[in-house]
A and B are shown apart, each in its own frame.
Chain A
Amino acid sequence: MSDITSRAQHPTPLHARTAELCTTNTWTEECGFTIPALYTSAREEHEALTTRVTLSDLSARQCWLIEGPDAAAFLSVLTVSDAARIEPGQTARTLWCDDTGFVRGEGLLARFAPTTFELSTTVRDFAWINDALRGFDVKLVNATGSRAVIGVRGPRAQALLAAAGLSGEGASTGSVTRPTWRPAQVALMRDTTGEGIELWTQAEDGAIVWDRLWRSGASLGVAAAGATTLEATRIENAIAKPAVDWQPAHLAIDASDMRTPSELGFAPDPTRKYNGAEAARRSRAKPQVLIQLAAESELVTGPITARNAVAGKLTSTAWSESRAAAVALAWVDADVAKLGTKVAALTTRGTTTAEITREVFAKS
């Protein structure tokens, strides 16, 4: 039996289905799993995602079950979230920090029952969290690979769920529903971007749910969207990604790539004593701000400058089909982070001017 925690790359529970659809045969690695990079073309997938509905294989993630009488108490120390206030069936985007207040990981915390939670994330940190359990009556189970997760996105997403018999009375995001067509549980979750739906099932039910959605969506123009398209959408929507836009504290080589919860848009209750809270509250001497940039030519990651001085670092970039422009995310010094500010960013052939179009974690 293969070790799911090793660095070997594994197929997801949906691999048989995605492989059939992946006409380009281009794949990428995510969190130890292989997933299609592009099923057809960036343009076609983008069109389907923005005008109709797409399915994506989001199973490439770590899934950890936290079970036991102290599960909520432990998670309230581990994460910045007050797990006791998450009702069964609800989810919360959350972070967890090291002892010095820098973020180790980000994920979606779901409560299935009073003493049962699941944390899904793209950050590998099982061993550290397992050691952190000491002193709590709680068990951590690595369920990575045992969960199939299907992302449903696009303006016809709700229509697709309805057509597949997965919506209706009581079926809201964060709820667990039992479809009549299969004696399996499907959990509907708000995905980490907040702009789509995730369907969580047991691995063995993944292909069945995928098939059902695929058939039900035929009349709605359903298509599959690969990692490249989702990545472009992520950057368009200004969603920061761990290990790309910021480095988990335990993986960072450069300390300046580590982030505090406040830099990632979290404002935990100051009275809460989550791990690293006191240290995290000590503000950085020079905090940085994550912004979105737009430019006419394609950008590459690297330093960006403003007023002839290095002002920050560009961390992820993509070509936006909908905007017909390059979009990127970058960390800049707080005094530079004003909408409309022009900065110089690297391209494959030199530098170009890019404009700050959004502050990612701006308080609305």
Chain B
Amino acid sequence: MRNVGAATEFDVVVIGGGVNGLVCAALLAQAKRRVVVVEAMGRTGGACQTNDVVAGHRVSTFAHLIGPLDAQVVKALKLARHGLNFTAKQISTVALSPEGRHIVLDGDLRHTTQSLSAHSQNDAKAWAPFDTRMAKIAGQLQRWVQTPPGGAFEQATRGGSLFATRPTARAGAALDAEFGALLDGSIGELLDAEFETPLLKGAIAFDGIVGSAVSPRTQGTAFVAALRAALEAEAPDGIVHPQGGAGAFASALQKAAEAAGVSIRLNARVTNLLFENGRTTGVALAGGQAIYAPIVVSSMNAKATLIGLGAERYLPLGLKRRLSGFRAEGCVAKVNLALASLPSFKGLDKRHLKERLLICPSIDHLDRAFAAYEQGTFSPDPALEITIPSTHDASLATPGQHVLSAHVLYVPKTPAAGAWTDATKKDLIAAVGSTLRQYSPDLPELILGADLYTPADVESMGGTPGGHWHGGDLTLDQLGPLRPMAGMSRYGTPIAGLFLCGAGTHPCGGVTGINGRIAAEAVLAGAPVTA
């Protein structure tokens, strides 16, 4: 038994070497803390990996777009010095039309208006004021996503303005009204009131979902779309693609962490937390080894950490019930394709193939896919978010050949008919292929190899509990001061010495590094337990 009060080798144990775990660890090490990262898998990166589809064709295995990266993280960790190099920045969105009348959403008013004109003059006119309004709200939310929740939301609930930094009271009141509408409504309702083009509405609605098990008609999805816009507004490079894929980003982070003095232990699965008098004192590993430290920071979600690692006995009793209701089951699958050559999409300029391509022709299309998910299956015509990173990153495929990566919505972690089988996986790949064929008739014939990762695979192979991209659904009851749940939104937990830093914390998931950075600040500040 450990000698109570004895000096420990480390000041902090970080559970999980994913993006936020590495960011948190590196920043703590830079602040002169002795930090060890324990990672269950044989490599770091979590959902950021690059692997072969077939020999000579490499692609980001799970997460395929990086960012919007936290500017403070990029600066503090000097990631460029550790090999991070982007082959694409400010990646835009193109809403693909089966008829080739695509809509380009690249932040350039002229481009978007022009492409919208082909669909609706009304929408072309309505776009600029809508875009301006959303940008204003996103601008105001920027400060909120950058700091632990509590301040702005508390202010709002006390009857004050949500926006402490408003330029004038009048402008603030107007923004509050806009914000209220976002909270009250769904992205579907918001868009129906503004536009008439189904393709435009489908594309924007997609960003109100971003990996959560909700319909575009679910309350709060409008706020999530604004949240995503706020995150993008913060990042100078926007959405980026690192040379070598997501795995290269993880590699740069690992090097930055190690340069800061972080010790990294791979294949070190934490079986449970260690406690003394209700306070955490370290972790026990699967091999029987223990690592002691007065602070433990977990990048797993709250439920996986507190229930999965044996902390239940030390939790407030009501919290156990609330934790069991935390929704962190993934609903997005990943399909990676090796292609014999560059596919063509009807009516799409080749220069747009480096962008984020969305197949989501309408809100109803997304809603139907969600309805199938709710029945425990997937739509035969799923919504897709596609990248073809080999168009700008030659390191990923042999010359002339390409790789395509697609997120597939919605896909159950466990189908109603039972666990995933080779047959059901083939069915899903076929559904994706069939959908792609509507937009790129030649594409299915170009496929040299395909990998499918269901949410269950994301959990087991990506080391992401629940297989959720965001560490938990982005819904109003799991956001802001309620993320992961009331009383734990400021990165501390009810257990002394135990903190959270993963995607399941404020502000949300995605590959941003914000969670890890704010969690490190909270640890250094001796974060209060309650929000």
Contacts of A131 in B (CB 8 A): 317, 320-321, 324
Contacts of B307 in A (CB 8 A): 134
Q: Given A128-B321, A275-B317, 18 more contacts at CB 8 Å?
A: A78-B317, A99-B316, A99-B318, A99-B319, A131-B317, A132-B317, A132-B318, A132-B321, A134-B307, A134-B320, A135-B311, A135-B312, A135-B314, A135-B315, A136-B312, A136-B313, A273-B278, A275-B316
Q: Does A245 contact B (CB under 8 A)?
A: no
Interface string of A93-107 (1 = CB under 8 A from B): 000001100000000
Residues on A lying within 8 angstroms of B by beta carbon are 77-78, 98-99, 128-129, 131-132, 134-136, 273, 275-276
Interface string of B482-503 (1 = CB under 8 A from A): 0000010000000000000000
A249 (CB) vs chain B CBs: closest residue: B318
Contacts of B316 in A (CB 8 A): 99, 275-276
Interface string of B278-314 (1 = CB under 8 A from A): 1000000000000000000000000000010011111
Q: Are A128 and B315 in contact (CB under 8 A)?
A: no
Q: Are B278 and A77 in contact (CB under 8 A)?
A: no
* Complex A-B: 5 CB contacts under 8 Å: A99-B317, A128-B318, A131-B324, A132-B321, A135-B312
B312 to chain A, nearest CB (A): 3
A277 to chain B, nearest CB (A): 10
B20 to chain A, nearest CB (A): 26
Contacts of B311 in A (CB 8 A): 135
A303 to chain B, nearest CB (A): 26
B277 (CB) vs chain A CBs: closest residue: A273
> Interface SS of chain B: helix, strand, loop or mixed?
helix
A84 to chain B, nearest CB (A): 16
Contacts of B315 in A (CB 8 A): 135
How many residues from B make CB contacts under 8 Å with A?
Answer: 16
Contacts of A273 in B (CB 8 A): 278
Expressed in whole angstroms, the Cα–Cα distance for A78 and B317 within the complex equals: 7
Q: Are A134 and B318 in contact (CB under 8 A)?
A: no
B236 to chain A, nearest CB (A): 42
Q: Are B313 and A132 in contact (CB under 8 A)?
A: no
A13 to chain B, nearest CB (A): 31
A144 to chain B, nearest CB (A): 20
Q: Are A98 and B278 in contact (CB under 8 A)?
A: no
Contacts of B317 in A (CB 8 A): 77-78, 98-99, 128-129, 131-132, 275
Residue among B307, B312, B317, B320 with the highest chain A CB neighbour number at 10 A = B317
8 closest cross-chain pairs (CB), A and B: A135-B312, A135-B313, A132-B317, A99-B316, A131-B321, A134-B312, A99-B318, A275-B317
Expressed in whole angstroms, the Cα–Cα distance for A41 and B315 within the complex equals: 51
B48 to chain A, nearest CB (A): 32
Contacts of B278 in A (CB 8 A): 273
Residue among A98, A132, A273 with the highest chain B CB neighbour number at 10 A = A132
Expressed in whole angstroms, the Cα–Cα distance for A36 and B321 within the complex equals: 37
Contacts of A129 in B (CB 8 A): 317
B290 to chain A, nearest CB (A): 20
Contacts of B318 in A (CB 8 A): 98-99, 128, 132, 275
Contacts of A276 in B (CB 8 A): 316
Interface residues of B in 62-111 (CB under 8 A from A): none
Contacts of A132 in B (CB 8 A): 317-318, 320-321
Expressed in whole angstroms, the Cα–Cα distance for A225 and B338 within the complex equals: 83
Expressed in whole angstroms, the Cα–Cα distance for A134 and B316 within the complex equals: 11
Contacts of A134 in B (CB 8 A): 307, 312, 320
B316 to chain A, nearest CB (A): 4
Contacts of A78 in B (CB 8 A): 317
Expressed in whole angstroms, the Cα–Cα distance for A275 and B324 within the complex equals: 18
Interface residues of B in 367-410 (CB under 8 A from A): none
Expressed in whole angstroms, the Cα–Cα distance for A128 and B319 within the complex equals: 10
Contacts of A275 in B (CB 8 A): 316-318
Contacts of B319 in A (CB 8 A): 99
Report if A135-B324 is in contact (Cβ < 8 Å); known contacts: A98-B318, A99-B318, A99-B319: no
B307 (CB) vs chain A CBs: closest residue: A134
Expressed in whole angstroms, the Cα–Cα distance for A78 and B316 within the complex equals: 9
Expressed in whole angstroms, the Cα–Cα distance for A11 and B312 within the complex equals: 38
Expressed in whole angstroms, the Cα–Cα distance for A134 and B317 within the complex equals: 9
B463 to chain A, nearest CB (A): 24
Expressed in whole angstroms, the Cα–Cα distance for A276 and B318 within the complex equals: 9
Expressed in whole angstroms, the Cα–Cα distance for A350 and B316 within the complex equals: 46
A100 (CB) vs chain B CBs: closest residue: B318
A135 to chain B, nearest CB (A): 3
Contacts of B310 in A (CB 8 A): 135
A73 to chain B, nearest CB (A): 9
B486 (CB) vs chain A CBs: closest residue: A99
B498 to chain A, nearest CB (A): 15
Contacts of A99 in B (CB 8 A): 316-319, 487
